[in-house]
Amino acid sequence: MRWVDALRTRFFWWRHRAAWDAQLEADLQFHLEQETADRVARGASPARAAREARLAVGSVESAKEACRDLRQVPGLEPLWRDLRYAVRGLRRSPMFAGMTVTTLAICLGTNLIIFTVVDRVLLRPLPFPDANRLATVVNSFPRAGKDHDGASLTSYYEWRGHLPAFASLSAFRYGTAVVGDAGSAERQDVVRVTPEFFTTLGVRPTQGRAFTDADMTPGQDASAIVTDDYRQQRFGSRSLIIGRTIRVDGHPRTIVGVLPPGFRWLSSHARIFLPLSSTLAERSVNNRYVSGTEVVARLTPTARLPEAQAEVEADYHAHASEFPWAKEIQDAGFRVTVVSLHADQVAFIRPTLLLLQMGALLLLLIGGANLTNLLLIRAGGRAHEWNIRRSLGAGRRDVARQVVVETLLLASMGGLTGLVIGAGGLRLLGLGLAELPLGGTARLDARVVLVGLAAAFAAGGLMALPVIRFATRGGLTTPKAGGRTDTATRATERLRHALIVAQIALAFVLLAGAGLLALSLERVMTISPGFSPDHVLTGRVTLPHETYPDDSARAALAARAVDAIAHEPGVMAAGLSTDVPVNGPSEDNAMTVVGYVPPPGVSPILHNRYGVTGGYFAAMGIPLRQGRFLSSADSARRLRVCVVDEAFARHYWPAGAAVGQRVFDGPLQKRTPSDAFTVVGVVGSVPQSDLTDSRSTGGIYFPFWYDAQPAFFLALRTAQRPESFDPALQRIVRGLDPDLVVDDVRSMDVRIDNSLAPRRSPALLAGLFAMIALLLAAIGTYGTVSFAVALRRREIGVRVALGARPEQIARQFLSLGMRLLIAGTLIGASGAWLAGYAMQRILFDVPHVPAAILVGTAGVMATVALAASLLPSNRAARLEPTEALALE
Amino acid sequence: MGKPTDLVQGTLDFLILKTIALEPKHGWAIAKRIQQISEDVLQVPQGSLYPALYRLERQGWITGTPGEAESGRRVKFYRLTKAGRAHLERELESWKRLSTAINLVIRATSAEG
Q: Rounded CA gap, B61 and B58, in Å?
A: 8
Cβ <8 Å between B58 and A9: yes
Cβ <8 Å between A67 and B71: no
Query: What residues does A224 pair with on adjacent strands?
Result: A255
The answer, for A34 touching chain B at a CB cutoff of 8 Å, is yes
User: Which residues on chain A are in Cβ contact (under 8 Å) with B32?
Assistant: 34, 38
Whether B14 is covered by a domain: the verdict is: yes
Instruction: State the nearest Cα–Cα gap between B74 and chain A, in angstroms.
Output: 8
Q: How many CB atoms lie under 10 A from the CB of residue A601?
A: 8
The answer, for A522 touching chain B at a CB cutoff of 8 Å, is no
What's the average model confidence in pLDDT over A725-740? 92
- Nearest Cα to A565, choosing from A431, A714, A445? A714
Task: Give the Å distances, CA to CA, from A834 to A226, A295, A821, A829, A838.
Answer: 50, 38, 20, 9, 6
Considering only the beta carbons, identify the residue of A9, A37, A63 that sits closest to B50: A63
Instruction: State the nearest Cα–Cα gap between A59 and chain B, in angstroms.
Output: 7
pLDDT score of A669 more than 70: no
The answer, for A25 touching chain B at a CB cutoff of 8 Å, is no
Q: What is the pLDDT of residue A3?
A: 66
Task: Give the Å distances, CA to CA, from A766 to A516, A518, A770, B2.
Answer: 10, 9, 6, 88
pLDDT by residue (tens digit) across A584-606? Answer: 877 778 888 888 887 776 777 88
Q: What is the pLDDT of residue A433?
A: 59
- Is the four-CA dihedral A684, A688, A690, A696 of positive or negative sign? negative
pLDDT score of B49 more than 50: yes
User: Which residues on chain B are in Cβ contact (under 8 Å) with A34?
Assistant: 28, 32, 69-71
Cβ <8 Å between A26 and B74: yes
Considering only the beta carbons, identify the residue of A5, A58, A70 that sits closest to B54: A70
What's the average model confidence in pLDDT over A472-491? 56
Query: Helix or strand or coil: residue A133?
Result: helix
> Residue A474 — very low, low, confident or very high, per pLDDT cuts 50/70/90?
low
φ/ψ of residue A137, rounded to 5: -110, 125
Return the residue of A nearest to B70 by Cα.
A34
Q: What is the pLDDT of residue A249?
A: 78
Q: What is the pLDDT of residue A478?
A: 44
The answer, for A58 touching chain B at a CB cutoff of 8 Å, is yes
End-to-end CA distance of chain B: 30
User: Which residues on chain A are in Cβ contact (under 8 Å) with B66?
Assistant: 23
Query: Per mean pLDDT, which of A353-367, A470-484, A687-701 is the most reliable?
Result: A353-367
Asked if A462 contacts A869 with a C-beta cutoff of 8 angstroms, the reply is no
Query: Could you tell me how many CB contacts below 8 A there are between chain A and chain B?
Result: 76
Return the residue of B nearest to A38 by Cα.
B32
- Nearest Cα to A580, choosing from A696, A752, A727? A752
Residue A451: partners with Cβ closer than 8 Å, 6 or more residues away: A115, A119
Task: Specify the pTM.
Answer: 0.75
Q: What is the pLDDT of residue B59?
A: 82
pLDDT by residue (tens digit) across B2-24? Answer: 344 455 667 888 888 888 888 88
User: Which residues on chain B are in Cβ contact (under 8 Å) with A5?
Assistant: 60
> Residue A105 — very low, low, confident or very high, per pLDDT cuts 50/70/90?
very high
The answer, for A42 touching chain B at a CB cutoff of 8 Å, is no
Q: Over pLDDT 90: what percentage of chain A?
A: 45
Return the residue of A nearest to B3 by Cα.
A56
φ/ψ of residue A393, rounded to 5: 110, 0
Q: Over pLDDT 90: what percentage of chain B?
A: 1
* CA A656-A661-A662 angle, 5° bins: 150
- What ipTM was reported for this prediction? 0.83
Query: Per mean pLDDT, which of A78-92, A690-704, A729-743 is the most reliable?
Result: A729-743
Cβ <8 Å between B69 and A56: no
Q: What is the pLDDT of residue B73?
A: 81
Instruction: State the nearest Cα–Cα gap between B6 and chain A, in angstroms.
Output: 13
Average pLDDT, chain A: 87
Dihedral, CA of residue A108, residue A112, residue A113 and residue A117, to nearest 10: 150
Q: What is the pLDDT of residue A71?
A: 73
pLDDT by residue (tens digit) across A250-294? Answer: 789 999 999 999 899 998 889 999 999 998 988 988 888 888 899
What's the average model confidence in pLDDT over A661-668? 84
Q: What is the pLDDT of residue A421?
A: 93
- Is the four-CA dihedral A249, A254, A260, A261 of positive or negative sign? positive
User: Which residues on chain A are in Cβ contact (under 8 Å) with B57?
Assistant: 9
Least confident of A352-356, A366-370, A460-464, A473-477: A473-477
- Is the four-CA dihedral A785, A788, A790, A793 of positive or negative sign? negative
CA atoms within 13 A on the CB side of B79: 8
DSSP structure class, residue A214: G
> Residue A145 — very low, low, confident or very high, per pLDDT cuts 50/70/90?
confident
Dihedral, CA of residue A95, residue A98, residue A103 and residue A107, to nearest 10: 180
The answer, for A526 touching chain B at a CB cutoff of 8 Å, is no
Inter-axis angle of helices A94-118 and A396-432, to 10 degrees?
50
pLDDT score of A30 more than 60: yes
Q: Rounded CA gap, A562 and A247, in Å?
A: 28
Q: What is the pLDDT of residue A887?
A: 54
Q: Rounded CA gap, A216 and A194, in Å?
A: 7
pLDDT by residue (tens digit) across A620-632? Answer: 999 999 999 999 9
Cβ <8 Å between B50 and A24: yes
Q: How many CB atoms lie under 10 A from the CB of residue A320?
A: 14
Query: What residues does A681 pair with on adjacent strands?
Result: A627, A643
Q: Rounded CA gap, A613 and A703, in Å?
A: 6
Asked if A131 contacts A201 with a C-beta cutoff of 8 angstroms, the reply is no
Q: How many CB atoms lie under 10 A from the CB of residue A406?
A: 25
> Residue B92 — very low, low, confident or very high, per pLDDT cuts 50/70/90?
confident
Instruction: State the nearest Cα–Cα gap between A31 and chain B, in angstroms.
Output: 5
Q: Which of residues 273-312 of A touch B (CB under 8 A)?
A: none
For the domain that residue B86 is a member of, what is the CATH number? Answer: 1.10.10.10
Considering only the beta carbons, identify the residue of A9, A60, A71 that sits closest to B46: A60
CA atoms within 13 A on the CB side of A17: 13
Average pLDDT, chain B: 82
Asked if A708 contacts A555 with a C-beta cutoff of 8 angstroms, the reply is yes
Instruction: State the nearest Cα–Cα gap between B96 and chain A, in angstroms.
Output: 26
Query: Domain containing B104: what range?
Result: 9-112
Residue A133: partners with Cβ closer than 8 Å, 6 or more residues away: A167, A298, A299, A300, A301
Cβ <8 Å between A57 and B45: yes
DSSP A430-467: HHHS-PPTTS------HHHHHHHHHHHHHHHHHHHHHH
Q: C-alpha A102: how far from its chain's center?
A: 25
Cβ <8 Å between B75 and A70: no
Whether B71 is covered by a domain: the verdict is: yes
Asked if A696 contacts A685 with a C-beta cutoff of 8 angstroms, the reply is yes
Q: How many domains does chain B have?
A: 1
The answer, for A17 touching chain B at a CB cutoff of 8 Å, is no
Domain boundaries, chain A: 2-74, 75-132+347-476, 146-331, 495-525+755-888, 536-719
Q: Rounded CA gap, A844 and A690, in Å?
A: 12
Query: What residues does A462 pair with on adjacent strands?
Result: none
What's the average model confidence in pLDDT over A98-108? 92
The answer, for A71 touching chain B at a CB cutoff of 8 Å, is yes
Cβ <8 Å between A63 and B60: no
Return the residue of A nearest to B77 by Cα.
A27
